Structure 1
Amino acid sequence: MSERPVAPAIAGDDLKALSIPEVAQRLGVPVSRVQQLVRDGHLLAIRRDGALAVPEEFLGDETVVKGLAGTVTVLRDGGYDDEEIARWLLEDDPSLPGTPIEALRSNRGREIKRRAQAMAL
């Protein structure tokens, strides 16, 4: 995999995260494709016990959650690193309610993109 940084271990043990091979199986793609998705910023990976893992909340049934890649891009362009982005996506926000990733999963992508754009300014 490339030099693209990944978020370190940021979430507690209660966060369900899948290994890269598990993500590949779930998406029905080769492991190299998942690595490319992480490298290109379409998917964020965290470190779990030294290995890369993808929070399960970042995945739909057979795809990456709609709007995740765009949100990651907006925040990266605004100067946020992958750890900050992953933390923001996974932390509870009482004004939503829930987490930004839950909002993306429930088709409230416009609100999340608007918030990401405001943060990036």
Structure 2
Amino acid sequence: MSSVSSIPTADDVLDPQVDVLPVEEVATALGVPVSRIYQSVRDGHLIAMRRAGQLCMPAVLIDGSEPVKGLSGTLTLLRDAGYTPTEMLRWLFAPDESLPGTPIDALRSNRGREVKRRAQALGF
């Protein structure tokens, strides 16, 4: 079993007002073991960060009992474009006048196609 320190994490580049959930709470919300959350982060399906030394995720990445629709594919596109986890997190929460709002807001409101188009364009 790999150690928790081998999990790729983003720097905490978000506003302190952004609610975060410890990975244990994310696992409970998704109904999976914590080890599955760690593996999802390693596989690039979820993104984690450390806040106050604790491994956590922005709460808006979770929609009820599942990750936000389109998040995994968007993270894959960003990684393929050469983005680091920190850059991915920053991009997801950065205002984009063309959406309008932030990419994570657009994903949460079922506008994933628009978000993925923008993420794909970053690779060119």
Question: Which secondary structure does the structure 2 equivalent of 1:21 belong to?
Answer: helix
Where do 5+ consecutive residues of structure 2 fail to align?
none
Where do 5+ consecutive residues of structure 1 fail to align?
none
Identity %: 55
Residue of 106, 115, 118 corresponding to 2:118:
115
CA contact (8 A) 2:62 2:68 kept: yes
Question: Which secondary structure does the structure 2 equivalent of 1:84 belong to?
Answer: helix
Over the aligned positions, Cα root-mean-square deviation in angstroms equals 1.1
Residue of 51, 61, 74 corresponding to 1:58:
61
CA contact (8 A) 1:58 1:68 kept: yes
Number of residue pairs matched? 121
Shift of 1:2: 6.1
- The answer for the alignment partner of 1:89 in structure 2 is 92
> Counterpart amino acid of 2:80?
D
Query: Relative to total residues, which structure has the larger strand share, 1 or 2?
Result: 2
Runs of 4+ deviating beyond 4 Å: none
Counterparts of 2:93 and 2:55 in 1: how far apart (Å)? 17
Question: Which secondary structure does the structure 2 equivalent of 1:18 belong to?
Answer: strand
Counterparts of 1:51 and 1:120 in 2: how far apart (Å)? 32
- The answer for the alignment partner of 1:15 in structure 2 is 18
User: What's the TM-score once normalised by structure 2's chain length?
Assistant: 0.93
> Counterpart amino acid of 2:56?
A
